[in-house]
Amino acid sequence: MNLQTKALHAGYEKGAEGAMAVPIYQTTAYEFRDVEHAGNLFALKELGYIYTRLNNPTTDVFEKRFAELEGGEAAIATASGMSAIFYAIANAAEAGDNIICAYQVYGGALTQASHTLKRFGIEARFFDVHDTVAMEKLIDDKTKVIFFESLTNPSIDVADIEAITTIANRHGILTVVDNTVATPVLCKPFEHGADITVHSASKYTTGQGLAIGGILVERKNLLEKLKANPRYPQFNEPDASYHGLVYVDVPLPPYTLRTRLSLLRDLGAVVSPFNSWLFIQGIETFALRMREHSSNALKLAQFLEAHPKVKKVNYPGLQSDSNYANAQKYFKNGASSGLLSFEVDTLEAATKLVNATEIYSLVVNIGDSKSIITHPASTTHQQLNAQELEACGVQPGLVRISCGLEFIDDLIADLKQAIEA
């Protein structure tokens, strides 16, 4: 079935009322039939609803539908993209372990890796997403995850997913790919060897800047990689916190199961049913929007490339871009999403033009139907030092645009007057 059809139907079976729209189950808890039923649910002898921190029927539809779009086996929705990233890593790595993380990731993911994970005893080792030789040298027995973005924010690089996953698979290491910017509409990391994907649903999934949420998706047959893999005893040995459950022995997708039963249970960064419902609405138009975002962004990038005051444009859909070949290989029809960045001479020139735009909103978000402009060096990447800024490709004159769904001639005209102001 085509993705557009799945986006409208997957994961939802109408109840007796025949409601066309997925109902919102705005409830904290669920009544058990009797004590035996309650016991069976807790023991996983029967599957069902216990408490909305663990699962919820509206969120179930969001999870199932998103897993289908991504081509995965199961998904788990979270309170934010950041918590999805944390869960994906914390499910594999513990104190004393390390993860390998691309420099070119979202600023929040970078600080989570370099500062917050460190407080939990997990070391982060960084690599340039285009240098897989250097990446492999960072691997040792304690490496549990290789984390990178398929289409990076804000440097707009396209990872060579197969080059990274081939190395990871040779060492039996899990790869976690943040597929937020590329989206399941344009890019399918599982078809290129990735194990887990994470998304900030706050971006293109909701599509209109309506809600914060995240989602973690597990590929099909991940069990085979985890079973008897000495790197991951937590999936192969009894879990003392869940009456001795051995995750690889349960006939359920192990990565999302363990995330739900331990991390979601104990840390509780869960999505609200209402936000899951908003994400379901967004998914209905996902494919249509991504097509339009990509086409608008390409035209805007072409305009910028021809402008004398613009030093450099980063957009993988441009033939001149160093990521063009990867975009053609990994993105559907080479369509490269709505994110682009460009560089002007100085920090002053960048801030002046950002202030002069009228249609573009100065907002630290991406993936909204409304166009957004940002200056990463003074906002999202402010906490990074000069070396970190350089490594993740954030120059002082860099301006990032999340190209929305306005009429393209209006977007070009507004940017032109702002650059020339």
Q: Which residues bind ligand PLP (CB under 6 A)?
A: 80-82, 106, 108-109, 149, 153, 178, 180-181, 200, 202, 212, 214, 366
CB of 206 to ligand PLP, least distance (A): 10
Contact 229, 222 (CB under 8 A): no
CB nearer to ligand PLP: pick between 58 and 402: 402
Three-state secondary-structure class, residue 380: coil
What CA–CA distances, in Å, run from 284 to 190, 210, 369? 22, 15, 14
CB nearer to ligand PLP: pick between 246 and 364: 364
CB nearer to ligand PLP: pick between 80 and 272: 80
In 3D space, the residue among 24, 23, 43, 22 whose CA is nearest the CA of residue 32 turns out to be: 43
Report how far Cα 318 is from the mean position of its chain's Cα atoms: 23
Euclidean distance between CA atoms 286 and 8, whole angstroms: 10
Residue that has been written with the tokens 């190209």 in this structure: 403
Torsion sign, CA atoms 298, 302, 304, 310: positive
CB of 82 to ligand PLP, least distance (A): 4
CB of 55 to ligand PLP, least distance (A): 20
CB of 350 to ligand PLP, least distance (A): 19
Contact 22, 280 (CB under 8 A): yes
CB nearer to ligand PLP: pick between 155 and 231: 155
CB of 214 to ligand PLP, least distance (A): 5
Q: Decide: residue 29, CB within 10 A, 0-12 exposed, 13-18 middle, 19+ buried.
A: exposed
Euclidean distance between CA atoms 53 and 264, whole angstroms: 7
CB of 395 to ligand PLP, least distance (A): 19
Rounded to the nearest 10 degrees, what angle do helices 286-305 and 408-420 cross at?
40
CB of 189 to ligand PLP, least distance (A): 13
CB nearer to ligand PLP: pick between 82 and 310: 82
Residues in Cβ contact with 189 at an 8 Å cutoff, skipping those fewer than 6 apart: 70, 150, 161, 177, 179, 197
Contact 75, 66 (CB under 8 A): yes
Euclidean distance between CA atoms 204 and 211, whole angstroms: 11
CB of 153 to ligand PLP, least distance (A): 4
CB of 284 to ligand PLP, least distance (A): 20
CB nearer to ligand PLP: pick between 127 and 235: 127
CB nearer to ligand PLP: pick between 369 and 418: 369
In 3D space, the residue among 50, 24, 47, 18 whose CA is nearest the CA of residue 276 turns out to be: 24
CB of 47 to ligand PLP, least distance (A): 28
Residue that has been written with the tokens 């085509």 in this structure: 2
Token pair for residue 46?
A: 């029967």
CB nearer to ligand PLP: pick between 115 and 243: 115
CB nearer to ligand PLP: pick between 155 and 395: 155
CB nearer to ligand PLP: pick between 57 and 81: 81
Euclidean distance between CA atoms 60 and 276, whole angstroms: 9
Rounded to the nearest 10 degrees, what angle do helices 273-284 and 286-305 cross at?
70
Residues in Cβ contact with 325 at an 8 Å cutoff, skipping those fewer than 6 apart: none
CB nearer to ligand PLP: pick between 77 and 415: 77
CB of 322 to ligand PLP, least distance (A): 20
